[in-house]
Amino acid sequence: MTTNAELLRQLPSVEKLLNRPELTDLASDVERSVISRCAAEVLDQLRGSILSGQDNPRCFAETEGKLRLDLNALADDVARKVHATVSCGMRRVVNATGVIIHTNLGRSVLPKEAIEAVVTAASGYSNLEYELGQGMRSKRWKHVVEPLQALSGAEDALVVNNNAAAVLLCLNTLAPGREVIVSRGELVEIGGSFRMPDVMSASGAVLREVGSTNKTKLADYERAITDDTALILKVHTSNYRIVGFTEDVPVQQLSVLSKRYNLPFMVDLGSGLLAGEQSLAMPDGLRIDEPVVRDVVTAGADVVTFSADKLLGASQAGIIVGRSDYVERAAANQLARALRIDKLSLAALDATLGLYVRWPTRFAEFIPTLSMLTASVNELSVRAEEIRASLQNVLGSDFEVGVEPGYSKAGGGSMPLLELPTVLVSVSSSKMSADAIERALRLAEVPVITRIAEQKVLIDPRTLLEDDIEPLVDAFRVAAANEDR
Name the minimum Å distance from CB 436 to ligand PLP.
34
Residue nearer to ligand PLP on the CB measure, 77 or 268: 268
Which region among 11-19, 146-154, 266-274, 346-354 touches ligand PLP (by CB under 6 A)? 266-274
Residue nearer to ligand PLP on the CB measure, 171 or 230: 171
Residue nearer to ligand PLP on the CB measure, 198 or 228: 198
Contact call for residue 318 and ligand PLP (CB under 6 A): yes
- How many other C-beta atoms are found inside a 10 Å radius of the C-beta of residue 338? 12
Name the minimum Å distance from CB 34 to ligand PLP.
37
Selected from 185, 264, 270, 291, the binder of ligand PLP by CB under 6 A is: 270
For the window 227-256, what string marks contact with ligand PLP as x by the rule CB under 6 A? --------xx-x------------------
Distance CA 435, CA 345 (A): 37
- Per-residue 3-state assignment (H helix, E strand, C coil) for 194-233: EEHHHHHHHHCCEEEEECCCCECCHHHHHHHCCCCEEEEE
| Residue closest to ligand PLP, measured at CB | 270
Find out whether 120 and 347 touch, Cβ atoms under 8 Å.
yes
Find out whether 39 and 17 touch, Cβ atoms under 8 Å.
yes
Farthest CA pair distance, the chain = 94
Which alpha helices (DSSP H) does 26-178 contain, by range? Answer: 32-51, 71-86, 112-123, 145-152, 163-174
For the window 295-314, what string marks contact with ligand PLP as x by the rule CB under 6 A? ------------x-------
Name the minimum Å distance from CB 188 to ligand PLP.
5
Name the minimum Å distance from CB 339 to ligand PLP.
11
Phi, psi of 408 (to 5 degrees): -105, 165
* Chain centroid offset of residue 187 CA: 23
SS3 content of the chain, % helix, strand, coil (to 5): 45, 20, 35
Which region among 37-45, 174-182, 186-194, 319-327 touches ligand PLP (by CB under 6 A)? 186-194
Which region among 127-135, 160-168, 244-252, 256-264 touches ligand PLP (by CB under 6 A)? 160-168
Contact call for residue 162 and ligand PLP (CB under 6 A): yes
Which region among 41-49, 144-152, 158-166, 243-251 touches ligand PLP (by CB under 6 A)? 158-166
Name the minimum Å distance from CB 124 to ligand PLP.
28
State which of positions 191-230 bind ligand PLP (CB under 6 A): 194
Residue nearer to ligand PLP on the CB measure, 190 or 448: 190
Contact call for residue 152 and ligand PLP (CB under 6 A): no
> Pseudo-torsion of CA 431, 435, 439, 442, nearest 10°?
110
DSSP at 133: T
Name the minimum Å distance from CB 347 to ligand PLP.
18
State which of positions 164-183 bind ligand PLP (CB under 6 A): 164, 167
Strands 99-101 and 229-235: unpaired
Dihedral sign from CA coordinates of 356, 362, 367, 370: positive
State which of positions 363-402 bind ligand PLP (CB under 6 A): none
Selected from 156, 268, 438, 460, the binder of ligand PLP by CB under 6 A is: 268
DSSP notation for 241-255? ---SS-B---HHHHH
Residue nearer to ligand PLP on the CB measure, 196 or 327: 196
Distance CA 20, CA 76 (A): 10
Residue nearer to ligand PLP on the CB measure, 75 or 166: 166
Q: Burial, 132: exposed, middle or buried (Cβ in 10 Å; 0-12, 13-18, 19+)?
A: exposed
State which of positions 395-434 bind ligand PLP (CB under 6 A): 413
Selected from 108, 163, 255, 428, the binder of ligand PLP by CB under 6 A is: 163
Find out whether 159 and 144 touch, Cβ atoms under 8 Å.
yes
Residue nearer to ligand PLP on the CB measure, 147 or 270: 270
H-helix or E-strand spanning residue 306: strand 303-307
Contact call for residue 188 and ligand PLP (CB under 6 A): yes
State which of positions 46-85 bind ligand PLP (CB under 6 A): none
> Residue 341's closest CA among 137, 101, 140, 145?
140
**179: β partners:** 206, 229
Distance CA 349, CA 313 (A): 9
Name the minimum Å distance from CB 340 to ligand PLP.
14
For the window 108-127, what string marks contact with ligand PLP as x by the rule CB under 6 A? --------------------
Strands 318-322 and 451-453: unpaired
Residue nearer to ligand PLP on the CB measure, 109 or 384: 109
Residues interacting with ligand PLP, by CB under 6 A? 162-164, 167, 188, 190, 194, 235-236, 238, 268, 270-271, 307, 318, 413
